[in-house]
Structure 1
Amino acid sequence: MKRINLYWQIRGVLRLLFRLGNWHVHGVEHVPLGGPLLIVVNHISAFEAPLVAATLQIGPIAVLAKAEFAHPLNPLGWLMRTMDVIFVHRGEVDRHAIKAALQVLRAGGILGLAPEGTRSKTGGLQRGREGAAYLALQSGAPILPVGVWGQERIPQDLLHLRRPTYHVRFGPVFTLEYDRARPKRQQLAEATDVIMRRLAVLLPPAYRGVYADVEETSGGSQ
């Protein structure tokens, strides 16, 4: 039986819900009309992926999510399986997930992930992992960096009957080129640093974490 994809229906519901808050969107002129596209976003709460999906007019977006969500007893498991979710086993090289992610990009699709690999406990950026860089170098897909902030306070604001405020900022799309003449490990490290710094400049200083030394540019946060 063919699986029903409810991406657009769920996105519509999310847009209605997020409009109840103070939803600020910046840099939409940087968003391309379609794929292939690798979307990278910071990760400090459970709301980044829903906010980005609700903000973008393109899709559907396949996302990487930890395999724990696939457990039958996880309340979000069924909902996530109705969309294009690639479950990843953390703490190991999940070749199945890597292959599935590359297939999405090579087919001209859109893939979203958090290059930090896990949620930040401090609210600031952590050191990026090499997964995003690997996918970008192997597929040649353009990268769209997205900085999201304020969403981590949604539960607390709702608890205190306050209207939440959150921001989604898109940066310029960029690409990475794989040079077969250079060491692969070195290229992955350098590309990861490029991705994380492109992401950091979109965020307010308090959210930049270990990339606090990033230089302000015209694409930076205000």
Structure 2
Amino acid sequence: MEMYKIIKSLCKVVFYPKYRIQVEGVENIPKEGPVLICSNHISNYDPIVLGITVPREIYFMAKEELFEKKVIGSFLRKLHAFPVKRGMRDRQALRRALEVLDENHTLGLFPEGTRSKDGTLGKGLAGAGFFALRSQATVIPCAIVGTYKSKDPLRVVYGKPIPMAQLRERKASSQEVTDEIMEGIRHILDKNEHN
């Protein structure tokens, strides 16, 4: 069994009972073809939680500093993570992310670019819209609802795909597309936070 599947299985054993994870909307994630999953970002654990709740293998960008230690870098690569330089336009990382989608894989993104300190949804960066426009990916908004400290279950809700055809037709900008994606995430949060 390959490393990704082994680690995913181990993380499921730990995370599902610890945070009482509940998952909704996985039927919205296509079984084949390129998929871009865009989620809010409330904890360093978020990539793991997406990794264990998405039925498909998922790729992530991770800050370059994490790859500086060889052992950790090697481990992250086995989990389909690849480095991105923060605070600047990293062409190599952009190319790699587009390759992931061109190869019909699933790319996970946190459009806010950084964790929310208070759990509220921030403004999304144009990168998410860039990947959505430059690929043929199905774009799925996702909301992680709750906190990792609460006794309540942590809910992971995958929404219906963002209708990209209309956005492409009217030649929407990357930022406009990101704003649509963020609206999709906000809608899921608003609908689920009080349930």
TM tier relative to shorter chain? 0.7 to 0.9
Which of 87, 90, 113 is the matching residue for 1:94? 90
Map 1:64-213 to 2 at 5 A.
64-72=61-69, 76-153=72-149, 165-177=153-165, 179=168, 182=171, 187-204=173-190
Q: Which has the higher helix share?
A: 2
| Conserved 8 A contact 1:34-1:110 | no
C-alpha distance in 2, partners of 1:23/1:179? 35
| Conserved 8 A contact 2:162-2:181 | no
Runs of 4 or more, structure 1, over 6 Å off, are none
C-alpha distance in 1, partners of 2:92/2:58? 18
Structure 2 counterpart of 1:9, one-letter code: I
Change (3 A) 1:49 1:19: same
Q: Give 5+ residue unaligned stretches, structure 2.
A: none
Q: Give 5+ residue unaligned stretches, structure 1.
A: 158-162, 205-219
Partner of 2:36: 38
Structure 2 counterpart of 1:194, one-letter code: E
User: Alignment length, in residue pairs?
Assistant: 191
C-alpha distance in 1, partners of 2:31/2:155? 21
| 1:181 CA drift (Å) | 7.6
The TM-score, its normalising length taken from structure 2, stands at 0.88
RCO higher in structure (CA 8 A, sep ≥6): 2
Structure 2 counterpart of 1:113, one-letter code: L
Structure number with larger C-alpha Rg: 1
Partner of 2:50: 52
Q: Secondary structure of 1:202's match?
A: helix
| Conserved 8 A contact 2:133-2:168 | no
The TM-score, its normalising length taken from structure 1, stands at 0.78
| 1:8 CA drift (Å) | 1.1
| 1:77 CA drift (Å) | 3.5
CA-to-partner distance for each residue in 1:124-175, whole Å, 9 max, x for gaps? 111100001001100121111110133432xxx6xxxxx6631100100224
Instruction: Kindly indicate whether residue 16 of structure 2 is the aligned counterpart of residue 16 of structure 1.
Output: no
Q: Secondary structure of 1:165's match?
A: coil
C-alpha distance in 2, partners of 1:175/1:65? 27
Q: Secondary structure of 1:20's match?
A: helix
Structure 1 counterpart of 2:186, one-letter code: A
**How well do the aligned residues superpose, as a CA RMSD in angstroms?**
2.3
Q: Secondary structure of 2:36's match?
A: strand
Identity %: 32
